[in-house]
Each structure stands twice: as structure tokens, then as C-alpha cells.
Structure 1
Amino acid sequence: MEAMHTAHWPHALRPYQEQALQQVEQLWQSGHHRTWIVLPPGSGKTLVGLEAARRLGRRTVVLVPNTAVQNQWISHWRSFQHPDATPATAGTGPGLDHDVTVLTYQSLAVFDPEAETDAEGRSTTPVRDRLHPNGRALVRALQQAGPLTLLLDECHHLLQVWGRLIDEILTDLPDARVIGLTGTPATTLTSTEKDLVDRLFGTPVVGASVPALVRQGYLAPFAELAWFTRPTTAEHQYLAEQGTRFTELCTDLLRPGFATTDFLAWIDARFVHRPTDSGGHLDWSHVATSTPDLAQAVLRLHHAGLCALPQGARTLEHHRRPPTDQDWTALIGAYARTGLDPDHDQDALERIRTALPAVGHHLTRNGVRRGASPVDRVLARSDAKSHATVEILAAEHAHLGERLRALVLCDHESAGSRLPAALREVLAPDSGSARLQVQLLATDPRTRDLHPLLVTGRTVACGPDTAADLLAFARAEHPGLQLSARPDQGLHVIEGAWTSRTWTATLTRFLEQGHSHVLVGTRALLGEGWDARGVNTVVDLTTATTATAVVQSRGRALRLDPNWPDKCAHTWTVVCLDHDHPRGHADWDRFVRKHDGYLGVDQDGQIMSGIAHIDASLSPYNPPTDTDALNARMLTRAGQRHRTRQRWNVGAPYHDTLLPTLRVRQHRRPPSTTAGAGQDLPAPVPPEAVTTPSGARATAGAPQLLTPATGILAALAVLFLLAGWTAPGWFTAAAVCAAAAGALVLRRRHRHTTRVLAQAALPVETARYAAAVADALHGAGHAPIGAQGVRVHCDTDGIYRFTLTGAGGQAAEHFTQGLEEVLAPLVEHPRYIVARHVLPTPPHRAAHRARTWRAALGARTPVTTVHHAVPALLGRNRQGARAFERAWCRWVSDGEVLYTRRGHGQQVWLAHLGSDPVEVATAHRLMWE
């Protein structure tokens, strides 16, 4: 293997690549034999893997997910330079005769259909013993090859059956060095997946994130966009018919007499007032942990006003929405199982049984079982989504012209054989397929000049105008290759002696050289690993929502394009909504899951996770209603790639950390009139005055004044003089001086009181609540920094965003959670509450003057009082509550914290239960910086 050592990469490695390789070297030196490297798609994982293998100098076997990637590995290895006459070789044969052999996982994991299984189809033998003879031969070749380096590309695939197989094979290869490569962060793995990955690879080497590499200029800036569409008329009619039964069932459930035990009475007895054996109430934390779907559903019923709030429960952002079909289904399943009598409630059970299939569920003896939902299928494969893709690409072509290089990802090539019988009158045979998409693009006058190509693992096809050019190009690339074009349903299928390993690379060059501007393919072939540097637009029509699928599909457009140094990529997701069906948000829910945890830049240049970076108006818990306006904004952004690039602020410093942030929408202030929109606001400063139970007080810098009694005495002296009371001259002079001094003091006090009352009467800005929470957390030892770490940003739509910076992720999470609890309506039962006093506005100017003079003379000013919850973290003990009280008195209002579990505090809490002290809406997000 001397040729492995002498080869070298002819270019400089990027800093993060060299850093990853150094970490791998340190693992080898410390005795590890396995590791996995996490780097985003487009960051050069292939190069890092090959360089790590080259430094080891062993025979190398690479396993990849598909044939599209296979040739890329070989081509990449051949780009290494070899100074001697016997360069290291690369191949794809199972004999492992080359220095670098690249195989697919499928070539190894081919199972024998005759392998022995038990009565339930489970294997009774190890996975490797169930391999097809070809697979067993490959395993023997691995065992006999001597010291190996095994590179496992896109190793997240090992979480499937391949993981068990590789785990067994590696036990017979104790000397092998194993390197996994993936773009999927370890934080997205489930506990089971993490256990398998830890066993296979051990310690991960984690590189920079996608935003970090964009900031460094190693990945292209990008924008996430979305197009919202509605089902076709036929699809909508079907959905309406399906949804009527379920909607009627939910309505009937709420009526008395539906069954022996009414539904709402069962909810109350089961969740709200359910006693325990010890005589207390059910521990809500146990309900939330053991049955989270039921707990969520009950809290949404409470939000809708259908039941009381269970003791100990707390509503969060995702609970403040109407119950969804999934909420109803979860409750109906438990109700049918524990609340209905099979002997006396036959009619109720039959109603439930006939209505549930409309939302993809079925009633069984053990409750409700989820099945295939026809509604999900219609929304996912709606014909409207294919037509929306035409609109998107027409718009992108209008902006980019000949520079457009687009990839459309679908789940399948042709859907006809997979369509259920019940939907054959609703959906077209090829709805949602890659083939239909190419047909629409090839026939629409706005997109046919894009020369769209169909590229899957088994088919290459195009429009008739493109076929001749494609045949000529392929024959020039592969002289002697016999190809022909066969007409098939409006397309021309290219046939001949080639395979996907050959045509994928050929069609990639066809696209990048501008002969075609759109490839339409399946996620299985082009959705990961496929390298086309020119791709600048991706349209995602797939239903995959895993973190792996999202990262991989987005990564197809992030590679730098040497022909366009200022490249900026767009990734579009098409979403079909039907607001009239209880499950008409199923496609929306997929859309939300795709963006959950995925980072993108918003219109203000803030990099954050979730769908808010697509449009600030979007909430993950409620689908939009004004989709036409949203689509118009998306089209506007599509024509502003230069602005997207500016928002990424390429070259600016960063920390590569994620911080929780709280978005706050103020109901009383029109967003369009908010000052400072689209920028960071000054840090909060303590107010000049705060309210008190008797009026107001200055917080700092107030002038030292004489007491009210002094002013009163001076006023009396003036009255004596005016009454003509005779007295010795010296006394009269003293009285005059005293009267003058008293009048001056009274005047100064009046001015001071007027200013203090005016300041205290101003509405409390949300930033002051945020500062109070931050200072309280700092004072209680939960954060290393207080109010000076609060960052306030105002989005372009007038929504405020509050983040605690410089304190670490855990403290920032405490801050956002605590601020939300302070701002939330008082519908729960916190341990402590705190008062905020409010100065009412006088009805007219004369009343205002009278109030200020009375206050100047020492009289109490009437106030109203509202109460806020003390954050749960600070309310765990008296010390935390006192820390919050001190911060509250400094930033918001004089107010004493009250313990609500007994006595006066409990009475106050009950009196204010249900009140909304500030009337805002809040939402949690993650922000990158």
C-alpha cells in the first residue's frame, strides 16, 4: 500500500477539514479504532474521509448509499496526485483488488429470501448468515483482505438493518480502522440510534455547522422559501366528504347524552378532578410523562374553554391552539377504552368506528390504531403541488435566466401502481410523481425551454425537444455507447447499454453545462451525496421529514459554484392546505417537522431555526390562512438573492452557538407602526420611576426635597398673613419668609411629583420585564449575567425578540422560559405571584392637575393592581422569590411576592385567576450567533 502513502491532495485543505483530521489522528494515537465525522453536505466530507484513509496507508473499502455517489468517490480519489509510476488504484469490484474499492451498501446487504425465520417472520440466525451468497462472499473478502480502513459514507443509513449487519461484520475485523461520515448531527438521534452509533463508532468528530461554513465562505448563502397551494376541486370535494363525519362526531361528543358517561364528564373525572388513593389530586407531571399525547390534548381542550385546567398543569405555546384531529383521536381512543360500556354504548362506539377512518385511524378492541390516511395521501400527492412547481421554476427562470440550475426532488418516479383503489377517482394516476412533473414542465410554454430531465435509478426521460441534444451529448461523452429515444406518454425515454452509475454523472455534466436547467429525480438517487456544484434551486416535493433527509436535500444546493462566485441558493417547499378538513393541515405538519431545528436566515439577517426564518408571520402551531399574500412575499424574495447574501453577512465573526429566544407580539400595538423595526434596540435601562401601592416613586437621581409637612406649614403661614392677623414685625417677616420658602418647596415638589407620576404612568415596556427576569436569575445564581445581557431585537413586522446573551445556553433557556411565564395569562397555579400597580389615566386635564397636587401634598394616589406569575425556577424557594421581588421593584413596580398555596396569597391568586396582565402572544425559537 505504498501508493496510498505517496499520494497527496494537490490543493490546500480548509481549516475545518484539517482540524477534523487532526482530531481523528488524536483518536488513533489514544488507542481508538473507530470514529465518525460530522460535517455538513457540501463541506468536503469525501475529501476528509479519503485523506484520513490515505494517512493510515491501508487498503480502503468505501460503502456508499447509491450508485450516484459511487463514481464521485472514485473520481475524487483519482484527483489525488501520485508522484511515482504506480499510483493507487480505485474500483468497484467485490474482489477488493484495488487500493480503494467503492461499493454500495446494497451490494453487501442482499439477503437470501430462503433464510430461516420463525412463525412471525423474525430471523433466528445472525444477520450476516442470512446474506445472499454474493453478500457472504464479500464478507469473506473483507475478512481476508488484511488490515483495512473501512469508510462508511452517509453512515446514518446504518441506523437501518445495515447497522446490525456492519456491527456483526466488525466483530470479525478487530484490526480494521472504521470511519463514519455523515451530515446528520448527533443531537438529532434517538436514544436507540445513539446507542448503535456509539457501539459502531465511539467518539464523534464534530465539525462546523452550516451557518458557520456559510459565514466563512465555504458554503453558498441560501434562503428557505415556501409555496402554499390548495387541493384541486376534485380533491377538495373528496376531503370535504371525508371530513364531515369526523367533524360531526367531535360536535356530538360535546353534547350531553352521547353515551352513558358523557365525554366532558369523563375528561373532568379522568384528568381535572381525579383523586388519588391518598386523597389528593392526580399528579399532572405523571400524566404529562406517561401519556404526553393525552396531556397535550387536554390542555388544548382547556384553551378552547371545554374543560378546567388540571391542577399542576401549565400551558405553553404549543397548547394555545384549538384541538387538532390528533388531539381528538387520542382522547377518543382513551374514552372508548375506559369511558364507554361495550354493552350499553353500542351506538356511541359505532359512531366512533365509522368516523375515525376519515382521519386515518381505526377503532379496535384495544383502543384507536393509526393506519394509512387517505387524507395524508391526497395532500402529499395533490396535483396542485406539481402545478405549483411549474410556477416556482417559471419565476426563478425569470430572475436567473440561463443561470438557473434546478433540482426537483420527488418520492417516486411513477405512482400509478401505488395508488389505493379508493383514490383512483380523486388523484390522477401519476399525481406527485417525478414523471408527471417532467411532463408538466416540458409542455408549459414558460418552462419547456428549461429542457427538464427525468433522472431516477431506472429511467432517463425528457421532452422530445431535448432528446436529440441529450443523445448527442451522451454519445460524445461515451463513444460507442448505443442509445435510442423511445416515445412514452409525451416523453422520450432514453434506452441503451448504460446504468444509473453512468447516466447520473453524464446528466450532471449535461445540467452544469447548461444543456438542461432542471433535473427532476427521486430522493433515493439525488437526495443525498449527489454532487452538482451548479445547482442553485431545489424544490422539495418529498414527504420525508427526518433531520437526515432535510439536511441532505438542502445540501444539494449549498456547494460553491466556480462559475458564479456570488451564488445564492434557494430551497422551496411546496405545501398543500385544506382548511375545511380536520386533518387538512397534515402537509403543513410535515413542513413544520422539516424545518424543526434547521437553521436559516430571516428577513432581518437573524439566523434561527424553524419556519420563522421563512416568514416572520408563520407559527409552527397554526397554518396560515392568507396564503396568497405569503406566496407574493415568497416571489418577491425569490428575486432578491443579493439581499439574501447580504443578510448572511459573509465574513463576519460568529460564535457558532444556539441560543433560545422569545418572540413577543404585542396585541395593542399595530406592528407596522413599531419604531426601530428590523434592528437591535438599545439595551434596557432602569426606569426613572415605578408605581407603588400609594402612587409612584422615583427610582434613582431624584432631588432631595423637604417633607410635605414643611410645605403645609408654609401654606398655613401664608393664610395667616392673608387673614390680616397682626403680629410683631419680626414675626411677620419670619412668616413671610416661611411662606415664601414653603411655596417654593411646594412648587418644586409639585414639579417633581408631576414628572414621577408621568413616568410611572407610562406602559411597562416588555424589555423591562425581560431585564427583571434576567437580574432575578443572576441574583438567584442561575445566570452569570443579568439585565446587561438582554438583547432586544425588533423584527420587520414589529414583533420583539428577547435573548439573554453571554450567559450560556442553559441560562438563556431559563430566561426565555421565565419571561414567558411572567407575560402569560394567570391561568395556572404558580407557587408565587407578584403585584404590578397601574396608574389609571385621569378623565380630563383638571383631574390630572388635582391628582398631582394631592400627591405633592402627600395624599395617596389611587392605583389598580394586576398580578403576574413568578417564574417557576425562581419560585422553587423563598430565596429565589425574593431575588425576583428585588428585581421587580427595580424594573417594573413596587410589589411583594405572595405565596399562593394558602392564606392571603391563595385568595389573591383565586381573585385574579384567568386574568391577562399584558395581553401579548409569545413563541419560543432558537437563534444562531
Structure 2
Amino acid sequence: MSTPAVDGTGFAGVRPPVLLRRHQSEALDALDEAFAAGRRRAWVVLPPGLGKTLTGLEAARRRGDRTVVLGPNTAIQGQWLTAWSTYRPAPPPAGTDRALTDPVTVLTYQALATFDPDAEVDEEGAGEPGGTEHLYRLRPQGRALVAALRDAGRVTLLLDECHHLLDTWGELLAELLRELPDATVIGLTATPPDRLTPAQAALVDELFGPAVQGPSIPAAVREGHLAPYAELAWITPPTADEEHWLAAEAERFATLTTDLLDPGFAATPFLAWLDERIVRRRTATGERALPWHRFARENPDTADAALRFHYHGLLELPEGARLREEHRHAPLAADWVCLLDDWIRRCLLRSDDPRDTRAVEAVRAALPAVGHRLTRAGIRAGRSPVDRVLARSAAKTTAVREILAAESTTLGDRLRAVVVCDHERATATLPASLDGVLAQEAGSARLVLDELAADPRTAVLGPLLVTGRTVAAAPETARRFHAWAAEADPALRLDPPSATGNGGTVEITGRWDSRRWVALATRFFESGGTRALVGTRGMLGEGWDARGVNTLVDLTEATTATAVVQTRGRALRIDPSWPEKTAHTWSVVCVADGHPKGTGDWDRFVRKHAGYLGITEAGEVVSGVAHVHAALSPYAPPPAHDFDRLNAVMLRRAEQRETTREAWRVGSPYDDRLVHTVRVALPAGRGPVPAAAEPGAPVRPPVAVPAPVGVAPAVPRPPALWAATAAAALVCAVAAVLLGAGVLAPLAAATGGGAAYTLRRAALGARMLRAAGAEPPVPAVARAVAEALHAAGLVPRGAEAVSVAPDETGAYRVRLAGVPAAASALFATAFDEAVSPVGDPRYLLPRYLVTGHGLRDGDLAARGRLRSHAVVHHAVPAVLGENRRRVDLYAAAWRRYVSEAVPVYTRSPEGAGVLAAQAGASPLDASTALRVAWT
């Protein structure tokens, strides 16, 4: 159902140039329903490349009112005008006059409030300049536009990339819309609602109401509307000069951390304070103040930092605490700072002891080395020179050369690469402390252009710089572009290109603006005149459309969901000239191993990928850095000695675009929903199953699998063990059956019950051996957890829905298939608790082991007996330990899939002893990681 067009616009007589895709038609129908119900505001969420522009224009055409489009930059402005011109037959005119004289007017947001829509991020990472303005503070041109909108009466206002309004113009937009009661307002964005901050989500709901949600990016790939893609990373240490400077900066903080471990450093030693405050958590009267789960909930950063201190051997494990993936690495500067802040505010600043005063001053002097300062209110963060060195490291520009050279070798003339930076050139003076460490232009698009033009391997790509202010290239490329542009647009007046330039590159100047030169440079790029564009996020990172882009290198510091989706969206469009296109997006990360602040760039990398879905080498679509490589953790970078190896893996993967394309399974069915998975990595020699275990399928004995980065290759379990275990289980099972049938009763009587005892032990051994020999413990425990959750009515499917598969590193990937996201999350959490180190559960379940590397010939009973030490205890997951009924359901499932077992109540004297012996121990000697996957 669509709204009839209003006479006078001429919209009713024109139609889109192409048939609308299903998701576009569905979005338009949803808008029609919303407007028919009386709403006048709505917003549409579609991934980049899925036709937001055409969807917006068609929504406006159906409304039939005068239409005004506002977009973030001149490149996007030009795209709207071009898209409207493709309507057939000849559409009503579209213009850029603020007087709104045409039926369709396309403007930038700058027409309303002054800021530079094409500006790059400033050199301190502060984002686009500008801020919230109010209507009464607008400049005359802005007030004139508001008056024209008000006078237009019924008008459709299209707000492209409306997320910009959330960050800088929320209050202004709210005021504007109150001035336009007759306007229909449609926001368009690629940022999904679940990626918005709470403040942004509240503002969107106030301004637009519920979203019209399109498909996810993976769903669009499956349907063939976006190109298959892979997220890759190049991890590099700083250069030698940068490393030397970083080492000197780290020395002050290292001295402080060493001093903090000295009991005489302060009247109340640092570790003693942490022990009382966090481990013991005692009140002034000596009584325990809070159980761990409450303390961790109320002080999450402090609790996490303390657990990393424990992992590093500096604190005991607090009772009730459990180490998770994020805790299994040495404490970082942020952890020290968090705990120092607590110690200083709660202890040292309240003391009159001279030792405490000296300790405060020592902390104050060391904190700037890690980007913090001590104030009267506590420790406060600031931008550290260390952050600048890592973000702008010369090693990152070198990495760009290596990446493009490798991609060029693989793709040849097909390569269409884009390098996106934060800023075109440096304008601020470097801090004196960085003189001689970083180049003045470090991190700039100009420096990237100069280095690409100077390297013979990448100079052949004809790199071209395109920003909101400048077009530049090496002289030969500049001459070719000059000639090409003059032929493509005869009315263009360009200055003759210089034969030589500063640093080997020259600027291309003339009487043109960014709207014209971006369009021309894009066409030149897609025709192969240049195979590498270098630009800024403000111009090429959002809204810019070039279908040929197949390689994108992200050098920006932006970590917001909007910036990530927009930047990566540049490479995802379908290329009509290459239907088999597969896109690569490279992140370049600089890590200073050993420096307390050396993971700052890694943390940015993690934030960029958080919530963003990509495909692994094993073909699983997952969220976060795990889709770059399954062994990567969001909580700590890999060790420096693995950088080269990991980069080699990335280069090998980059050569295999067809493999990536096949892994996406374009055209196959999908649910378009998220599921929670658990990655379980076992020590070498105890690897997972060799192939996926589909729900309900038996798990085969393990074979050798590829080792994780930094881990020795796995050694398969000897087949003889499986055979011997199975044979022994069979013999014992036969004996148990005979005993149960009474066949051996006379023998039992004749031997005074000794045979019966022996055979009962054999039967018990048979049950244990069946569990030990039938299936490796990881999938067995997973099935037990799922079965118990299902029996308790907590999830809709049980053991038959458990999926177990190896990832590309050889670790297990475990999930509950075919259930809602909430059920998969519940299963993942419970399974993680069941196989992780024991914390403080209410119940434990034993798992009996077959000791040795096989069963030797000899007495059957001896083979059936289990030594007293051949048992490990697993925590009963919290959700299954809430009451005895659930515990019994879990124990029944455990006996079926894992091992003969009787639950152990840890609050009893016997259970407390078992818990004390098991607390902190890993029942599988495994590391686990919770992940989110798409299906």
C-alpha cells in the first residue's frame, strides 16, 4: 500500500530504473504501514551497498511531497542527485539550492549548521569538528534554510547516514523537527540498533520511533546482494627507534610496579591492601563484607584486575571467583591503574604517615608514562604519547606496502585497493618528547601516498590521493589522470600538472570542487587508471560508492560501530565486471610487547571488531576478532614472536579468495540470527574431533589437527587406547549382564561372594569405561549439559542439538544448534562453567578416568578397577545447581554421557574438603572462550 502522489511534483509518473530487491520492497511496505498508522517519522537500517539511496528516493516518491535530502558530505550529495536522474521517464528536476525551488533538493548537513562535512579526524583522534548548535545560533544561511523548510508545508525530509545526528546534532534536529509539524521524516543508516550506545538508542527512539530493520550483512552476502569478504590483520611491532623510546618511557612505570611489591614502600603495603580489600573482603571488624559475585557485580573493573593479578601470581584467588578468558593474561597498565586508584583514594590519601605521602608522589610521577595523571579526585586518563606512537607508527605504513604488494601479486590488474586514514596531513606540532621518534606526517594519508609511490612494488599501482581538499599522485599518474579527466569532462579547467613534486608526488589543481574530483577519481579508479586510492575517512570511509573496491586497508583510529560498518561497507558492493569478487578488509595493528601500555592499538582493533560479523577459515561466521583468526583473543594480543607467523597465515589466506567465497555458501539457507558458542582449546596431544559432529552424531576418535598460533602441533591419541578401552568395556559389560541375569550367582555363592563383588566392580567399571571410551569428554559434557537444561525446561532442545566441530586451530567449537539466541547463550554459559576451572559451585560431579595409555593384559577386575586418584571433579553449572531437582537431572544426564557419578554438595563437610582440593583446578586442563556466531 502506498500513499498517492500529490499533484504538482510530477513524482507519480516516474519509476525506479531497476526492479527493487526484496529487502527494499519490505522496507518500503513497512514505511507505508507506519505512515498509514499516523506516524510521521521512521528510520530504515540497511547495510552499506544494499540500496539505501534508492529506498529513500522511492519512499519519498510514494509520499508525493516536495523532498529535501540532507547528507554528510559532497560525495554522497552527488550520489543522490545521480540516483534521482536515473528514474524513468525523465524525473522532475533535482537541485542543490537552499531556497528549495526544485521538487527534489539535495544538500549537505553543512547547509543547515556549519561544520566541515569532508574533514578528517583531527590528529588527537577527536573526531569530526563541530558540535551541537541550536536554531537561534545558526548562521544566516542555516536560518534561511529552516524558514524555507517551514514554508514548504508538507515536505519529506530524508536524513542520510542519520547516525551523524546522534553524535553531534541531536538537540538541533529535535528543535528543527518541532518547527516542521507537517514534515514526514525518514532517517537512513547502516548502523544496526543493537550497535548504538544507550544514549544514541534513546535519542533515535525519541526522534524516529522503532526502526525498519533490514537484513544483516552476512544475510545480504548469502543472498548475493553483497560480496563475500574476509577480515584480515597485519600485526607489527614498532620500529627500532620507536621501541627504544617506548622502553625508556616504560622504565618509570616498571620501577613503580617493582616498588609497589616492596612491603616497605608504604605504611599499608599495596598487596596487603589488595588482599584485605579484594581477596578477604573484610570489614573493619574483621567480618566478611560481600560474597564474590556481589563484589564483582558492584566493582567489575576492580574484580577483573584482581583476577589478572592472581593469574600473574600476585594475589590469592578470592573465594567464589573463577578465572575466565579475559583473566588469563598478565595485568596491563589499566589493571595496575585501577587497583592503584582504589589504594590511593581509600588508603593513602586518608593517611598522615610520611611513607604514604612519598608513595603518592612516586605514583604521581610515574603515571604520565602510561597516559594517566593523579588528581585530587583520583587517577584520570588522558591521551598518552605512547598511544600516538602506536597509532601512527612508521611500521604501519610499511605494513600497507607489504599488504598491497602481496594483493597485487595475487590479483594483478584486478586489484582495486583503498587505504583509509584519519587525516590528510599533520597540522599540529609533535610533542617535544616525540621529536626524532615519529615523523611530522606520521599516520597521514600524504605519507602513505609518498611511500607507496616510492616503493617499486606499489608504484606500479599508480596510487592516487583523494580527500576533501586535495588530489595528488606521482607525476606520471598525475599526468594520466589530468588527461583522462579533461577527456571525461571537457568543461573542466585544470592546471597543467607539475613534472616533479615535493617528495615525489604532485597535487592536481584547477577550478573544481570535491564533488567533481571525487566522482572523476572514482571513475578513473574503477577503469583501472589507478589501482590504489588513498584517502580519509571523512571522504572515502562513508557513503562513497565504488563497486570495484576489493581490498581495503583500515588505518583509522575510529572504533564506533558506525565508523566500522561504514568503512568496511566500501568494499562489500557487488562488482558487475567481476561477479566472483571477494573483498578483503585489512586492519594494521601495532603492539609494543612488554610495554604496560603497549596494547592500546590492539584494544582499538578489538573494539572495531566487537559485534562485527566475519567468516573464519573454518567457514563459521562469528563476531569479534576470532573471525580474523580463531586463536586471537579480545583480551590480549598474541606474543610478539608469533607476529610473523600470524602475518604469514593472513597472506596465505589472502591468496585464497575463492576458498573464502566458497565458505560463505552464497545462495544457501540461513536463519539470520546469532548463536552463542564456546571455543575449548586443549593441550597438545588432546585435540578435538577431526571433523564436525553434527547434532546427535557420534564423535570419532581424534586425529592430528593444526596447532594454534604459538602452540606445538597436536599429537593424536594412540588408536590402541581406543581399541583397548572399547574391548575392556565390552568384556565388562558382558560380565555385568551375566551377573544381572543370575548366571553367575552359583559362582558367587561358591566363592563367598568374592566373585559377586568382583563382578559388581566389573559392572561399575564397565559403566565408567563406556563413558570414558565412547566419546571424548568435551562433547560428552556438552551433551550432558544440554540434556539437563532441556529436561529442566530451560532450553527447547537437548543433547541431539549439540554441535561440535574443530576450528582452524584445532580447538573445539561447541554450540547448541537450532535454538533461540537466549537458549544458546544459556547453554554456552553453563557448558563453559562445566569445563572451566572450579570456582565456588554449590555442587560438583566426578568424572572417572582410565589411567595409563592403554589397558594391559591381566586380571579383569584389575582392569575394571579405578584408582582412587583417577577422578576429577567438574562444577555443576550455576543454573543447574539452583535446586536439587535440577542437580539430579544433570547427574542423570552426566551418568548417561560422561561418567558414573553422585553429586557432591560443597556446603557439607565432605563436599567442602573436595572443593578445597579442586578449587581453581581445571578438570580438562583446557582454556575456554565464549564467542557469538551467526547462522
Q: Once the two structures are aligned, what percentage of the paired residues are identical? A: 51
1:110 maps to which of 91, 110, 114: 114
Q: 1:755-904 residue pairs with structure 2 within 5 A?
A: 758-762=769-773, 764-826=776-838, 828-841=839-852, 845=856, 849=860, 851-852=862-863, 864-904=870-910
Alpha-carbon distance in 1 for matches of 2:649, 2:692: 17
Alpha-carbon distance in 2 for matches of 1:215, 1:141: 44
Aligned match of 2:97:
93
3-state DSSP of counterpart to 1:450 = coil
Q: Which moved more, 1:198-207 or 1:490-499?
A: 490-499
Asked if structure 2 preserves the Cα contact closer than 8 Å seen for 1:441 and 1:452, the reply is yes
Distance 1:375 1:283, change over 3 A: same
Q: 1:587-606 residue pairs with structure 2 within 5 A?
A: 587-606=601-620
2:31 maps to which of 16, 24, 27: 24
Q: Mind listing any 5+ residue stretches in structure 1 that lack a counterpart?
A: 113-122, 690-694, 720-741
Asked if structure 1 preserves the Cα contact closer than 8 Å seen for 2:493 and 2:510, the reply is yes
1:662 maps to which of 657, 670, 678: 678
Aligned match of 2:408:
397
Asked if structure 1 preserves the Cα contact closer than 8 Å seen for 2:689 and 2:699, the reply is no
Alpha-carbon distance in 1 for matches of 2:810, 2:872: 26
Give deviations 1:261-316, integer Å, cap 9, x for gaps. Answer: 00011112212222358944324444334432212111211222322233443432
Asked if structure 1 preserves the Cα contact closer than 8 Å seen for 2:613 and 2:623, the reply is yes
Aligned match of 1:333:
341
Distance 1:718 1:549, change over 3 A: closer
Alpha-carbon distance in 2 for matches of 1:353, 1:520: 42
**AA matched with 1:393:** L
**How far did 1:759 drift?**
3.4
**How far did 1:782 drift?**
0.7
Asked if structure 2 preserves the Cα contact closer than 8 Å seen for 1:711 and 1:746, the reply is no
Aligned match of 1:736:
none
Alpha-carbon distance in 2 for matches of 1:389, 1:13: 38
Give deviations 1:436-468, integer Å, cap 9, x for gaps. Answer: 111111111111121111111111111011111
Q: Which moved more, 1:282-291 or 1:485-494?
A: 282-291
Distance 1:44 1:717, change over 3 A: closer
Q: 1:187-206 residue pairs with structure 2 within 5 A?
A: 187-206=194-213
3-state DSSP of counterpart to 2:509 = strand
3-state DSSP of counterpart to 2:242 = helix
Asked if structure 2 preserves the Cα contact closer than 8 Å seen for 1:41 and 1:552, the reply is yes
Asked if structure 2 preserves the Cα contact closer than 8 Å seen for 1:661 and 1:924, the reply is yes
**How far did 1:898 drift?**
2.7
Pairing 1:443–2:454 present: yes
3-state DSSP of counterpart to 1:927 = strand
1:505 maps to which of 507, 512, 519: 519
Alpha-carbon distance in 2 for matches of 1:156, 1:904: 59
Pairing 1:927–2:894 present: no
**How far did 1:529 drift?**
0.3
Distance 1:520 1:680, change over 3 A: farther
**TM-score, normalisation: structure 1:** 0.90
Pairing 1:163–2:180 present: no
**AA matched with 2:823:** A
Give deviations 1:336-362, integer Å, cap 9, x for gaps. Answer: 222213652222112211111111001
Q: 1:190-269 residue pairs with structure 2 within 5 A?
A: 190-269=197-276
Q: 1:334-483 residue pairs with structure 2 within 5 A?
A: 334-340=342-348, 341=351, 343-344=353-354, 345-483=356-494
Pairing 1:298–2:306 present: yes
Alpha-carbon distance in 2 for matches of 1:804, 1:662: 10
Aligned match of 2:22:
15
Aligned match of 2:711:
none
**AA matched with 1:821:** E
Alpha-carbon distance in 2 for matches of 1:387, 1:863: 56
**How far did 1:247 drift?**
1.6
Q: What is the CA RMSD across the aligned residues, in angstroms?
A: 3.0
Distance 1:575 1:702, change over 3 A: farther
Alpha-carbon distance in 2 for matches of 1:749, 1:878: 28
**How far did 1:675 drift?**
4.8
**How far did 1:717 drift?**
7.3
Asked if structure 1 preserves the Cα contact closer than 8 Å seen for 2:772 and 2:899, the reply is no
**How far did 1:581 drift?**
1.1
Asked if structure 2 preserves the Cα contact closer than 8 Å seen for 1:697 and 1:756, the reply is no
Asked if structure 2 preserves the Cα contact closer than 8 Å seen for 1:452 and 1:518, the reply is yes
Give deviations 1:462-511, integer Å, cap 9, x for gaps. Answer: 10111111111222233232212353432111111111111111110110
Asked if structure 2 preserves the Cα contact closer than 8 Å seen for 1:408 and 1:538, the reply is yes
**How far did 1:751 drift?**
9.7
**AA matched with 1:427:** L
Asked if structure 1 preserves the Cα contact closer than 8 Å seen for 2:371 and 2:386, the reply is yes
Asked if structure 2 preserves the Cα contact closer than 8 Å seen for 1:760 and 1:839, the reply is no
Q: 1:382-781 residue pairs with structure 2 within 5 A?
A: 382-484=393-495, 485-486=497-498, 487-625=501-639, 626-669=642-685, 671=687, 675-677=689-691, 683-684=697-698, 704-706=737-739, 711=744, 713-714=746-747, 758-762=769-773, 764-781=776-793
3-state DSSP of counterpart to 2:460 = helix
Asked if structure 2 preserves the Cα contact closer than 8 Å seen for 1:761 and 1:840, the reply is no
Asked if structure 2 preserves the Cα contact closer than 8 Å seen for 1:663 and 1:800, the reply is yes
Asked if structure 2 preserves the Cα contact closer than 8 Å seen for 1:109 and 1:135, the reply is yes
Distance 1:445 1:878, change over 3 A: same
**How far did 1:5 drift?**
1.8
**How far did 1:219 drift?**
0.5
**TM-score, normalisation: structure 2:** 0.89
Asked if structure 2 preserves the Cα contact closer than 8 Å seen for 1:842 and 1:848, the reply is no
Give deviations 1:124-152, integer Å, cap 9, x for gaps. Answer: 99811111111111111111111011111
Alpha-carbon distance in 1 for matches of 2:732, 2:148: 81
Distance 1:4 1:839, change over 3 A: same
Asked if structure 1 preserves the Cα contact closer than 8 Å seen for 2:772 and 2:848, the reply is no
Distance 1:277 1:384, change over 3 A: closer
The structure having more radius of gyration, on CA atoms, is 1
Give deviations 1:898-921, integer Å, cap 9, x for gaps. Answer: 332343322321232232211111
**How far did 1:677 drift?**
4.5
Aligned match of 1:737:
none
Aligned match of 2:4:
none
Alpha-carbon distance in 1 for matches of 2:46, 2:853: 63
Q: Mind listing any 5+ residue stretches in structure 2 that lack a counterpart?
A: 1-7, 117-129, 702-721, 723-727
**AA matched with 1:436:** L
Pairing 1:81–2:97 present: no
**How far did 1:862 drift?**
5.4
**How far did 1:332 drift?**
1.1
Asked if structure 2 preserves the Cα contact closer than 8 Å seen for 1:699 and 1:890, the reply is no
1:151 maps to which of 152, 158, 161: 158
Q: Which moved more, 1:39-48 or 1:601-610?
A: 601-610
Asked if structure 2 preserves the Cα contact closer than 8 Å seen for 1:684 and 1:771, the reply is no
Alpha-carbon distance in 2 for matches of 1:878, 1:138: 69
3-state DSSP of counterpart to 2:420 = strand
**AA matched with 2:826:** H
Alpha-carbon distance in 2 for matches of 1:396, 1:761: 49
